[in-house]
Amino acid sequence: MSSSSTLPKYVKIVEVGPRDGLQNEKEFVPIDVKVDLINQLSNAGFSNIEAASFVSPKWIPQMAGSDKVMAAISRKPGTIYSALTPNMKGYESALAAKVDEIVIFSAASEAFAQKNINCSITESVERFAPVAKAAKQDGIRIRGSISCSFGCPYEGSVEAAQVSEVVKRMMELGCDEIDIADTIGVGTPGQIAAVFEGLFAFAPKEQFSGHFHDTYGQALANIYAAMQVGVSIFHSSIAGLGGCPYAKGATGNVATEDVLYMLKGLGIETGIDFDTAVKIGEYITKVTGKTNASRVGRAIAAKK
Amino acid sequence: MSSSSTLPKYVKIVEVGPRDGLQNEKEFVPIDVKVDLINQLSNAGFSNIEAASFVSPKWIPQMAGSDKVMAAISRKPGTIYSALTPNMKGYESALAAKVDEIVIFSAASEAFAQKNINCSITESVERFAPVAKAAKQDGIRIRGSISCSFGCPYEGSVEAAQVSEVVKRMMELGCDEIDIADTIGVGTPGQIAAVFEGLFAFAPKEQFSGHFHDTYGQALANIYAAMQVGVSIFHSSIAGLGGCPYAKGATGNVATEDVLYMLKGLGIETGIDFDTAVKIGEYITKVTGKTNASRVGRAIAAKK
């Protein structure tokens, strides 16, 4: 069997470093550094960048000034700049800041929804109905993110049927794209393939992305397995920014450089310049004083 | 497509930490620690442990006392204890030390053979002919290891045909098992699958193992791809011991715990107790003062 024959020709990378990554770093990263990072990413060819979160700074101080970030970046035509919008207030701010895509979110685990968003899964999706309706009217793309689709820090295992259930609700809200997220990085390739195959029984493949954390080192194998069943959108974080909020000191988002290295080796197009991505990883780790969590980034730095 | 249907039911892990791993660590690890490590591994269910190297301590001081290690370990019945034998002198020592399997080696890259073993690929294999002949007569298993099968630190790319060529010579020497090694960890899943598929056109699948370094983070995806084309033996190093000799500070051998985690998730048997393996990784990193290079090891430690 030649497994590579089933792989996509093009993969869209959603770079989540500026939001999901930096939000989970302890220290606040200055607005101008965020702007610089986002501009470097768009210039390197990243076509979708999670840039901001319009959430109360009381809740998430790291995301304060998201409006300033959005106002200061140099918009590259065709690039989608996404922002999290937890409620109508956040949505209004995102609209004013001219984001291209809003991100709404729920979880596949009841325990996680309760602990993280203080309501049931059903309630969490219902609360987003007015946000989604407004975005549709305003012609803004909607992305739905489903946390803990492969395991939960409180509940343990999560059934594929639970994921499908939340996906259906997200589709009813009119989501253009839906992220199936392994928030704690516990999934393994067979499980990943099975969950996506379950979704593709009732929904189009192009609508789904894989958001995999590398906490247990599984992310690249999971991406490979997901591509084999038809997933062609993946989230990653430059230099692996972010860490794991559920196990301090462990790895979080899969590093963009590691994903790009694999895709390049597989001959899969991304539109992103690999060498520039590695340099951006060096830049952001230097300026923030973080350790580069990308193995590719570290290997290339070590050879110099 | 359900990719997991083609995966092996059982995978043999060759634990290379005590030799390949510790050899590439800067500090000498005391004999009694090595003995303790090897005994812990055999008790955890590892059925094949690369335990020693009968090479001159002038060349590789970290392997001094391999005879003492072999004499002091508690042999577990059925467990294969392997040792590197670079020449007849090394073979005689290995025989005296009652190793179960000798390891002979060459490379798929001429430049690497010249720099690493000071001769051509052809010469390197020919030099092992008397060693292999003696091992056959003495009823000792022979493993052949082929470095740089997917890329070379000096030559860059390596063609699949070069690997096949060296494999054929190793088979002529009577090797029972042949390691296809990604010594610098540059391979990606499509390349891995293609090289093994090339070999399986003329040689039985059960005879080959994948030895993958995680320098660019690709090792687990490569193992997954290799399993899909029929490879069922893999090398790994507990706690990722070893690092990368060609890029100091970068990752070397794939961590055993990360491999076991993936195999467990895929429902593939190994005969190894996962929790015990994680504890052995904690033990050896604590006693040697190393950072645990296993993501699984770090994630589990971070949760405590």
Joined together, the tokens standing for residue A272 give 């992103």
Nearest to B60 by CA among B29, B36, B98: B29
Cβ proximity of B266 and A189 under 8 Å: yes
Neighbours of A166 (CB within 10 A): 25
Strand-pair category, A208-212 with A177-182: parallel
Residue from the list B7, B215, B229 with its beta carbon closest to the beta carbon of A295? B215
Res B165 pLDDT > 90: yes
Mean residue pLDDT across chain A: 95
Q: What is the pLDDT of residue B5?
A: 55
Shortest Cα distance from A193 to chain B (angstroms)? 7
Cβ proximity of B120 and B114 under 8 Å: yes
B contacts of A224 (beta carbons < 8 Å): 189, 221, 224-225
C-beta atoms of A225 and B190 within 8 A: no
SS3 content of chain A, % helix, strand, coil (to 5): 45, 15, 35
pLDDT tens sequence across A208-257 = 999 999 999 999 999 999 999 999 999 999 999 998 888 888 889 999 99
Across B45-69, average pLDDT = 94
B199, HSE (Cβ side, Cα atoms, 13 Å): 34
B contacts of A188 (beta carbons < 8 Å): 261-262, 264-266
Band of the pLDDT at B1, cuts 50, 70, 90?
very low
Name B191's Cβ contacts closer than 8 Å, sequence gap at least 6: A265, B150
Predicted ipTM > 0.90: yes
Across B192-208, average pLDDT = 98
Nearest to A89 by CA among A121, A120, A59, A109: A59
Residue from the list B188, B250, B296 with its beta carbon closest to the beta carbon of A265? B188
**How far apart are alpha carbons B48 and B235 in whole angstroms?**
10
B266 touches chain A (CB under 8 A): yes
**How far apart are alpha carbons A52 and B227 in whole angstroms?**
40
pLDDT tens sequence across B121-148 = 999 999 999 999 999 999 999 999 999 9
Told to judge if A152 belongs to the known catalytic residues of this protein, a careful annotator would answer no
pLDDT tens sequence across B278-300 = 999 999 999 999 999 999 999 99
Residues 160-199 of B with CB under 8 A from A: 185, 187-191, 193-194, 197
Cβ proximity of A245 and A252 under 8 Å: yes
A contacts of B265 (beta carbons < 8 Å): 187-191, 218
Amino acid at A43: N
Name B139's Cβ contacts closer than 8 Å, sequence gap at least 6: none
pLDDT tens sequence across A58-96 = 988 989 999 999 999 999 999 999 999 999 999 999 999
Q: Tokens 């690039």 belong to which residue?
A: A79
Percent of the residues in chain B that have a pLDDT greater than 90, as a whole number: 89
Residue from the list B190, B224, B255 with its beta carbon closest to the beta carbon of A221? B224
Strand-pair category, A80-84 with B48-53: unpaired
C-beta atoms of A262 and B220 within 8 A: no
Res A39 pLDDT > 90: yes
Percent of the residues in chain B that have a pLDDT greater than 70, as a whole number: 98
Across B2-9, average pLDDT = 71
Beta-strand ranges (E) seen in chain B are 12-15, 48-53, 80-84, 101-107, 141-147, 177-182, 208-212, 233-236
CA A280 to chain centre: 18
Q: What is the pLDDT of residue A264?
A: 98
Mutate to test the interface with A, among B2, B191, B303 (most CBs of A within 10 A): B303
Across B80-104, average pLDDT = 98
Q: What is the pLDDT of residue B183?
A: 95
C-beta atoms of B265 and A218 within 8 A: yes
Most confident of A4-8, A27-31, B204-208: B204-208
Res B20 pLDDT > 60: yes
Residue from the list A191, A262, A294 with its beta carbon closest to the beta carbon of B218? A262
C-beta atoms of B247 and A303 within 8 A: yes
Q: What is the pLDDT of residue B219?
A: 98
pLDDT tens sequence across A144-194 = 999 999 999 999 999 999 999 999 999 999 999 999 999 999 999 999 999
**How far apart are alpha carbons A71 and A256 in whole angstroms?**
25
Res A2 pLDDT > 90: no
Cβ proximity of A60 and A23 under 8 Å: yes
**How far apart are alpha carbons A17 and A19 in whole angstroms?**
6
Name B221's Cβ contacts closer than 8 Å, sequence gap at least 6: A220, A221, A223, A224, A262, B188, B189
Amino acid at A121: I
Q: What is the pLDDT of residue A117?
A: 84
pTM over 0.90: yes
**How far apart are alpha carbons B104 and B85 in whole angstroms?**
6
Nearest to B231 by CA among B277, B195, B274, B257: B195
Residues 83-122 of A with CB under 8 A from B: none
Q: What is the pLDDT of residue B4?
A: 46
Residue B182, φ and ψ in degrees, nearest 5: -100, 80
Residues 194-253 of B with CB under 8 A from A: 194, 197, 214-218, 220-221, 223-225, 228-229, 244, 246-251
Cβ proximity of B199 and B208 under 8 Å: yes
Band of the pLDDT at B37, cuts 50, 70, 90?
very high
